[in-house]
Chain A
Amino acid sequence: MTMVVPAVEPDDETLVARAAAGDDSAFEAIVQRYQERVFRLASRLTSDSEAPDVLQDTFLQVYRHLPSFRGDSQFGTWLYRIATNAALMHRRARARRPADSLDMYLPQFEADGRHAATPAELQVASCADEMLDRQVLAQKARDVIARLPDLYREAFVLRDLEELSTAQVAQALGIESSTVRQRVHRARLMLRGYLSELVGVKP
């Protein structure tokens, strides 16, 4: 009887070391492992139509810069940094009107600091996915992410959509954790208010 030994996937560290030393099959394995995540990130930071270009740019840069990757951060964090910058370059390259302000979606307060809205109004954003058509919500969500200021969008997408830790986002963006929290918080407030308005309630 022959024993079937399950193949053990090499970890990132091993693959990166082999790829950096010129093993192209290791680079191919890295592409295979991360292509879905990079595409999803790119489409959230730009659009479905721009994401393929961002994906290509990202892995070409990874290939070129792998020999200089020093392992100060996790490979995944380093890759997210490259992909985020590539997405930003694409956004800057395209002619676009300045982002319109989402400040109107911030929560409103009375003079004494209490919420101006009722509990039911304050909670309604939680039900946006139940109250809206799935395809409509998908399009609206992409539209509103695109309207976020660049700094908020990057932090929010990495932290809340790709689910990196605050420390990983800080490392990927080269900023302090406290700055990550400020930007993600601001984005959440705006998006929460936007979802409220989508289902017909002022934030």
Chain B
Amino acid sequence: MKENQQEGLPGAPAPASAAVDNTSSAADANSAMAQLTRRSFLMWVGSSGAATALPLSAAAPVAVSAAPVAINDPGMATVRLSVNDVVREAQVDVRTTLLDYLRENLQLTGTKKGCDHGQCGACTVHVNGRRVNACLSFVAMHEGDAVTTIEGLGTPEHLHPMQAAFVAHDGLQCGYCTAGQIMSATALLKEPGNHGDADIKEAMSGNICRCGAYSNIVAAIRQVRDAS
């Protein structure tokens, strides 16, 4: 796995307030130690795979990804795409889905893996402005595409109106489906067709919420619809 964009140190927790920052320096990572959160700790454990014995200060340099694979390996592919307005060029195993590429290779873990078969909508992202299930395409199919994930929609300081509406209306309980719900909802208001209350329910049917926050989710979407 190679990126032309400098990755955050694979073994270090990203700063809690900017988990998507792929250009974080060692200094950023060190300062992040001081503000270790549950999320950043879990990300560190997941990406280092060696959390048991290594002291934090030693983790970063040793936690490297697998050895580079020859470019002429038929099981590999090169792909160039934009993710949240950052151009990425990667050599990937051809089996890598867009979802796994975002989560495992770019550590953009806001996009969630639910069913991994296009049935739950947790992995919804935008490709060229349209919502899709990231689990059902290989990243190698996305040459030249522009991908937007929940990390590219807003920031904790500057929430996208749909994110703010989900907060205001309590459009979640456990939160696992929320990124997918919000990506779906923002795309839906730009799609052709009607956006009446019944239309919103129908158009959101590809996003499942096991907590059953549906009425609050619909209320959040209605608020953004009515404000625009």
- Is the A/B pair a real complex? no
- Partner-A contacts on B (CB < 8 A): none
